[in-house]
Amino acid sequence: MTAPATEHVPGLVLRGVTPPLRLADFGLIAFDMDSTLITIECIDEIADAVGKKAEVAAITDATMRGEIKDFKESLRRRVALLEGVPVGALQEVYDQRLHLSPGADELVGACRAAGLKVLLVSGGFTFFADRVKTRLGIDFARSNLLEEEGGRLTGRVRAQDWGDICDGAEKRRTLLEVASLLRLAPSQTIAVGDGANDLPMMVAAGLSVAFHAKPKVREQAMVAIEQGGLDRLLEVVRPG
């Protein structure tokens, strides 16, 4: 049963947690990427290059709201619409449209300073995840690999050594796998996301954080940031 919600301060809703908590009591924080660490859904912006943004975005929105239950099938449908997109369009999206969410630098920096390892685990794509990982000094990243041929996307996702598509179940598995490697209990992890496919890892974590999230996710998170940036988590989980 979900704990009752209380507004800690304007725009910051808590369920079943009493601040202040200490960052030092955790060892790992996991972030979703699209619409969490960054402000865009990369697949929607790639689709814009071929005039299919509205079609792809509609599937994305329905998936993040939890209306389309099978994330893998949803992603395959959306990626199929990208067939023929020049690979150079990905760089254009990164250069011109991808922005870090407000407070991302501050929160990741505070976590690293407190000794936490940082994980990016995304249903998005390695082209962007690898660059965001480098940009923010993130320790681990897992995401989906777009197949390309002759400088264009094929409309398929390429399998990797861990599996085919990073969906909600894979996000949860990755969080727990990295925690185990670090010799951490799940209770020592934090998971931050915005969409339905983030819920499995959020439920597994010791502290779940919804960032400007879909209603289904906000209603289940222990911390819901509804106004302001990611660094508002530091009002609940203090660096000291």
Active-site positions read 32, 34
SS3 letters across 123-170: EEEHHHHHHHHHHHCCCEEEEEEEEEECCEEEEEEECECCECCCCHHH
Residues 6+ apart with CB under 8 A from 168: 71, 196, 197, 198, 199, 200, 201
What angle, 0 to 180 degrees and rounded to 10, lies between the N-to-C axes of helices 53-64 and 71-80?
170
DSSP letter assigned to residue 100: B
Three-state DSSP state, 236 = coil
Contact 205, 192 (CB under 8 A): no
Distance separating alpha carbons of residues 224 and 81, to the nearest angstrom:
33
Q: For residue 77, give every residue at least 6 positions away whose Cβ sits within 8 Å of its Cβ, in sequence order, or none.
A: 59
